[in-house]
Structure 1
Amino acid sequence: MKLKNISLEDSRVKLIPLSLSHCEQLLHIAMEPGLTRYSPSEIDSETALRAYITDALDQRDKNLAIPFLVYDKNTGTPAGCTRYMHIDWKNKVLHIGATWLGREYQGSGLNTHMKQLMIDYAFQTLQFEKVEFRIDERNVRSRKAVEKLGAVLEGILRKNVYLTDGFKRNTCCYGLFPESWKNTKTDLLSSAGE
């Protein structure tokens, strides 16, 4: 399977393979103040964003990640980035993360559609047995969002990741299994306006 050719789409969102050519389209979003407050990634300049995308593509070339540009079909504009990461093909576990969306897209239902596509693809097509999420303990909004997906808090890694401002965060580890996902998927889409 060629990881650089994977695209996912529904009525609301299209996830297309991320490339360096997207840097210009994403820069105005990446420069929004505080966008990656809880993230270890620096993206708030053209140089930083290019390095971020280059790293994502290097991880993809090593079969460890599948990065996407998030395209909002309602507005016809790029909205941000997301990716499968820390892909463990042997144990059939991957993370969904490195997600950032412009403020105008947050709370719009776009993230729900995006996660639904990614989780379905991970479980149904890639045949993974677990999807994980890693979130700053202070990021209550993101934690509630993954809990709505049916993900369960499995533990907290204390002071394990430095952020760009020098703060060392506690990281909440969430896990989602196919059976829990089936139970929440229908309700999730109906609440997102599908």
Structure 2
Amino acid sequence: MKAITLENDRVKLIPLDLTNYKHLTTIASEKDLIYYSPNQIDTPKTLKQYVQVALDGFKQNITLPFIVFDKDKQAFAGSTRFGLIHHKNKVLHIGWTWIGKTFQGTGLNSQMKFLMLQYAFETLDFEKVEFRIDERNIKSRKAVEKLGATLEGLLRQNTVMNDGFRRNTCCYGILKSEWNTIKLERFK
């Protein structure tokens, strides 16, 4: 998979790398920004490590990370990625998504997800897109449900959080056969 830029009138998803991630340092340090994630990004060092893990996955052809640019606000807003890319089964995950608090609730996230879903189904010709979300993260669960994703199940206590808590993970999915209907109904 090659690094690509995805763009519409609202958002530009640019390949994330070690030259541009520093645009996210201030946003990444926002208190509790990724509270429901087992990752840490709140210091320049942990943010760089987070980006390096994403880039290592890109080299292995299993991730495709992006830096998010909000065209309305003319500002970098956060990060997202395709991950756990399984080329043979034509399944990938969209996740590792975080945007600064001033960008939340503005419609930016749904525009990001539209571009990613469109690319996954219409360009890559994948059969399924999955989302994994901490069961406690109601805001993110509702956002994914609003996109048209179906709750497929719960992985019980499968992820250890930074404080030692073992979280349950909700598994959501969208099938390629559902995409055209979802696109017409949810992304008019």
TM-score range, shorter chain: over 0.9
Counterpart for residue 133 of structure 2 = 135
Deviation (angstroms), 1:148: 1.3
Give matches, 1:34-49, under 5 Å: 34-49=32-47
Cα distance between partner residues in 2 of 1:78 and 1:186? 28
Aligned with 1:52 (options 50, 53, 70): 50
1:56-102 deviations in Å (ceiling 9; x for gaps): 00000000000000000001110000000000000000000000000
| Secondary structure of the corresponding residue to residue 20 of structure 2 | helix
Q: TM-score, normalised by structure 2?
A: 0.97
Partners of 2:121 and 2:179 within 8 A in 1: no
Partners of 1:31 and 1:43 within 8 A in 2: yes
User: What amino acid sits opposite 1:43 in the alignment?
Assistant: I
Counterpart for residue 59 of structure 2 = 61
Cα distance between partner residues in 1 of 2:56 and 2:151? 30
1:162 aligns with 2:160: yes
Cα distance between partner residues in 2 of 1:90 and 1:180? 20
Counterpart for residue 16 of structure 2 = 18
Partners of 1:17 and 1:67 within 8 A in 2: yes
1:119 aligns with 2:130: no
Cα distance between partner residues in 1 of 2:20 and 2:164? 28
Deviation (angstroms), 1:38: 0.4
| Secondary structure of the corresponding residue to residue 38 of structure 2 | coil
Partners of 1:93 and 1:130 within 8 A in 2: yes
Partners of 2:21 and 2:67 within 8 A in 1: no
User: What amino acid sits opposite 2:6 in the alignment?
Assistant: L
Gaps spanning 5+ residues in structure 2: where? none
CA RMSD of aligned residues (A): 1.0
Cα distance between partner residues in 1 of 2:21 and 2:7? 21
Partners of 1:86 and 1:94 within 8 A in 2: yes
Deviation (angstroms), 1:145: 1.0
Identity %: 55
4+ residue runs over 6 A deviation: none
Deviation (angstroms), 1:45: 0.3
Aligned positions, number: 188
Q: TM-score, normalised by structure 1?
A: 0.94
Partners of 2:148 and 2:186 within 8 A in 1: no
Deviation (angstroms), 1:12: 0.1
1:113-170 deviations in Å (ceiling 9; x for gaps): 0000000000010010000000000111111111111111111000000112221110
Partners of 1:153 and 1:172 within 8 A in 2: yes
Cα distance between partner residues in 2 of 1:77 and 1:87? 29
